Amino acid sequence: MILQRENIPNINQISTELSRIIGDDRSNEIRQFFTYYQQCQAGANEIGTKLDNLDSEFQMRDNHNPIHHMETRMKAPQSLVRKLAKKGYDFNFNAIKDNIFDIAGIRVITNYLNDIDTVEQALTQQTDITVIKRKDYITNPKPSGYRSLHLVVSVPVFRTDGPVDTPVEIQLRTVGMDMWASLEHKLRYKTKVDSAKIEKYGDQLKQYSGELNHIETQMQAIFEDLQEN
């Protein structure tokens, strides 16, 4: 099951918004960009289909779905411009292609911890997939307590003039990790409290991440025991 995390802005909206941010005189660059934007979206569709197909195969073979659900999102133009600026670039098509790999993102929420490894292996061993970047925040959680496996993969998208390799960011996490990350994000960014106030709960939030991990490890052990019987 793939959920769209938010409405994907249509090309006209993006174009209008980008013209407003970077100026009308850059329309050529904007056109080039949204051709790429659409390509990235197609890349996420390709990955989503691959994962869906793998999940069905596991269900048939093992009577177990590794994937609980998936969410896709396209980076909003303002957040793209902000990220470029943070990295020291103006809005520039080449800077985007060379530095921004998460225009299209897909989040894969798995049922159990081991499912993350299962899904990663099954996807990345496919001959048309290349892993560009891999960050394992499960083996090495972030100081905040954040856990997930982040991959950027390249997948060919077949366009009218042939195949083009396209980057897609994939975040793999369990339901427990997803619950923690969603709520922590809301607490950190969405509450109106000042940041010093939330910081005092930092240790507590980190501890909860560890506790959830402990619970998920034990629930996986129960699952494995039941599978054997």
Contact stretch for ligand GTP (CB under 6 A) within 118-126, 138-146, 191-199, 219-227:
138-146
Report the C-alpha gap between 185 and 163 in whole angstroms: 37
Select from 175, 57, 46, 185 the least CA-distant residue to 116.
175
102 binds Mg ion (CB under 5 A): yes
Which of residues 102 and 184 has its CB atom nearest to Mg ion in the complex? Answer: 102
144 binds ligand GTP (CB under 6 A): yes
Backbone phi, psi, residue 132, to 5°: -95, -35
Shortest Å, Cβ 61 to ligand GTP: 31
44 binds ligand GTP (CB under 6 A): no
- Can you tell me which residue has the tokens 């490890």? 217
Contact stretch for ligand GTP (CB under 6 A) within 25-33, 181-189, 191-199, 207-215:
181-189
Report the C-alpha gap between 203 and 196 in whole angstroms: 13
Report the C-alpha gap between 188 and 143 in whole angstroms: 14
Chain centroid to CA 20: 27
64 binds ligand GTP (CB under 6 A): no
List, in sequence order, the alpha helices (H) in 6-26.
11-22
Instruction: Please measure the distance between the N-terminal and C-terminal CA atoms of the chain and give it in whole angstroms.
Output: 29
Site for ligand GTP in 145-174 (CB under 6 A): 146, 150
Report the C-alpha gap between 158 and 120 in whole angstroms: 23
Alpha-carbon distances of 168 from 125, 132, 177, rounded to whole Å: 16, 10, 21
184 binds ligand GTP (CB under 6 A): yes
Question: Which member of 30, 113, 181, 212 binds ligand GTP (CB under 6 A)?
Answer: 181
Shortest Å, Cβ 14 to ligand GTP: 20
Which of residues 54 and 138 has its CB atom nearest to Mg ion in the complex? Answer: 138
Question: Which member of 46, 55, 71, 102 binds ligand GTP (CB under 6 A)?
Answer: 102
Which of residues 142 and 159 has its CB atom nearest to ligand GTP in the complex? Answer: 142
Contact stretch for ligand GTP (CB under 6 A) within 46-54, 73-81, 154-162, 179-187:
179-187
184 binds Mg ion (CB under 5 A): no
DSSP 128: T
Q: Which residues pair with 158 in a beta bridge?
A: 163
Binding footprint of ligand GTP on the chain (CB under 6 A): 102, 135, 142, 144, 146, 150, 181, 184-185
